Structure formats: structure tokens, C-alpha cells
Amino acid sequence: GESVGLHLPTLSVQEGDNSIINCAYSNSASDYFIWYKQESGKGPQFIIDIRSNMDKRQGQRVTVLLNKTVKHLSLQIAATQPGDSAVYFCAEKTNNNDMRFGAGTRLTVKP
């Protein structure tokens, strides 16, 4: 079946650098995408979302890019801080109204 996936399971960056976390999805009919952050021992926390009629959305220090041509989603974190260390999940809402999550990328920020 179709699923959401991630290019890299781990990412290590230096504090102050920018981070880019990637996600590939295969359901071309998905119309809503979300990035979540999960810290150890906690539930996922919403970061930013984007609907399929957009290709870019910005929040505070975060930007989500959606490329529907190649079915690719990315999360950019500017000036990464130690508090950004966590597992990041992308999720898509499919045309069957299911919510599917990727396996996650662990981001480690080195001081």
C-alpha cells in the first residue's frame, strides 16, 4: 500500500545551523500535510501544516515546502537550537481520510 516515508532516519547539526528534514509521500491524492515534533516521553506536537493548494508555508523559524510534482515534503528549521532536538514526523491525510505518518527522523543538535 501507499505510505509516507523519510529519506534519513537521523540528522545531526551544529547549533545555529539550518536543518532540513525530508519526507517522501506516495499518495498523490493526499491533500493535507503536517509536521510534528516528538520529544522523549511525550506525545507528538504540531509544528506546521500545509494544504495541497500551496507549495510553501512559513512559521516561526520553520518553513514547510511541498513539491507535488515529485511528491516531496520538507521541513526547514532556521538557526537550530538544542531544544529542537527531537524526532520529527511528517503526516499526510489521504483521500480515504486516513492520517498516515512517516517513521520519523531523529534530529540531534550539537552545541
110: left (phi over 0), alpha (psi -120 to 50) or beta: beta
**Which one of residues 51, 55, 82, 95 is an interface residue with another protein (CB under 8 A)?**
51
Query: Is residue 37 near another protein by the rule CB under 8 A?
Result: no
- Count of residues engaged in binding another protein, rule: CB under 8 A: 23
**Which one of residues 10, 12, 26, 45 is an interface residue with another protein (CB under 8 A)?**
45
Tell me the DSSP string of 26-38.
--TT--EEEEEEE
* Structural contact between residues 9 and 107, judged by C-beta atoms closer than 8 angstroms: no
Query: Is residue 31 near another protein by the rule CB under 8 A?
Result: yes
Query: Is residue 25 near another protein by the rule CB under 8 A?
Result: no
Strand-by-strand arrangement of the 62-67 sheet: 4-5, 19-25, 72-77, 62-67, 56-58
The grid coordinates listed for 98 are 486516513
Query: Is residue 42 near another protein by the rule CB under 8 A?
Result: yes
Write out the residues near another protein by the rule CB under 8 A. Answer: 4, 31-32, 34, 36, 42-46, 49, 51, 89, 91, 93, 97-104
